[in-house]
Amino acid sequence: MKKQVIASSLLVAMAAFSLVGQAQAAVVGGSSNTNQIVAGESQVNGGPHTAGLAGIAAASININLAVDFVGLTGYSSFANDVYSLGGGGHGGMGAFNFAQVGSDDVWFGEWSESTDNSTRTVYYSGADADTSVPSSGSATYNVVGINNYDGNVNSLLNGTLTANFGTSTLTGSISNSNGLTIDLGTANINTDASISGANATAVEFGVTMETNGAVSGQFYNGHSSLAGLVDFAGTQYDTAFGGSQD
């Protein structure tokens, strides 16, 4: 299983900043391969970029300098609620497909260095990360997943995840019309509002392709949104997801 990381204020010490006129809380993110992609608090100020937001850094450019997703959107094409960004002005940048959760500074997506699927990495990053969860009640989340997005809406996964705060579990699955279903199994909702699990599955046209997928994620903005990823032994079925409370 590839290394997974959840990072709070990952690249620099937490700083105060304003996104919509209010102070934001810690940025928390994760990546299925931190040798390729680090997701956490943005560090770059200048041009279109702002420090202190949900951000991402690619090893092919400079793993120590995360840039914010908000700034990247201005250089990306946009279709089916997914931003796609190629090399742009940065040679060797690789290809990004990423999406925003509602209007929150919460993002999820995938990256690959080239058409070689072995480098493919999924990630999530968001501001206003929650630090605790309720001890009772439940909530459902309308979730979108990104897995080998090809520009066609049919490749996006959709579904519902259910957070049972009384039993501290997150369950549900997401599927697309191309025959792929990613089931989170039974993931844990931890007391710090993070999500972790180890029994996700990938099913394609009714055939189980991967088992024992590692789930990681985080609740944001008073549990109104969540984002995360599923990481299998290979890269083909690794999936990033995010969604808002129903």
Q: How confident is the model at residue 109 (pLDDT cuts 50, 70, 90)?
A: very high
Q: How confident is the model at residue 6 (pLDDT cuts 50, 70, 90)?
A: very low
We report the CATH number of the domain holding residue 198 as 2.40.160.90
Residue 133 in any domain: the answer is: no
Last residue of a domain, one of 64, 98, 126: 126
% of the chain residues with pLDDT over 90: 79
Total-model pTM: 0.89
Question: Are 155 and 241 in a shared domain?
Answer: yes
Residue among 200, 244, 229, 245 at smallest CA distance from 100: 244
Total domains in the chain come to: 2
Q: What is the rounded CA–CA span in Å between residue 106 and residue 223?
A: 12
Residue 132 in any domain: the answer is: no
Q: Is the confidence at residue 99, as pLDDT, over 90?
A: yes
- Measured in degrees and rounded to the nearest 5, phi and psi for residue 203 equal -120, 130
Query: 100 Cβ partners below 8 Å, 6+ apart?
Result: 69, 81, 83, 106, 107, 242
Residue 75 in any domain: the answer is: yes
Query: 16 Cβ partners below 8 Å, 6+ apart?
Result: 23, 52
Burial 134-165 (b: 16+ CB within 10 A, else e): eeeeebebebbbbbbbeeeeebbbebebebeb
Containing structural domain, residue 186 = 138-245
Q: What is the rounded CA–CA span in Å between residue 67 and residue 79?
A: 22
Is residue 90 within 8 A of residue 76, CB to CB? The reply is no
15-24 pLDDT tens trace: 333 333 333 4
27-36 pLDDT tens trace: 999 999 999 9
Residue 63 in any domain: the answer is: yes
Q: What is the largest CA-CA distance in the chain?
A: 50
The pLDDT value given to residue 12: 33
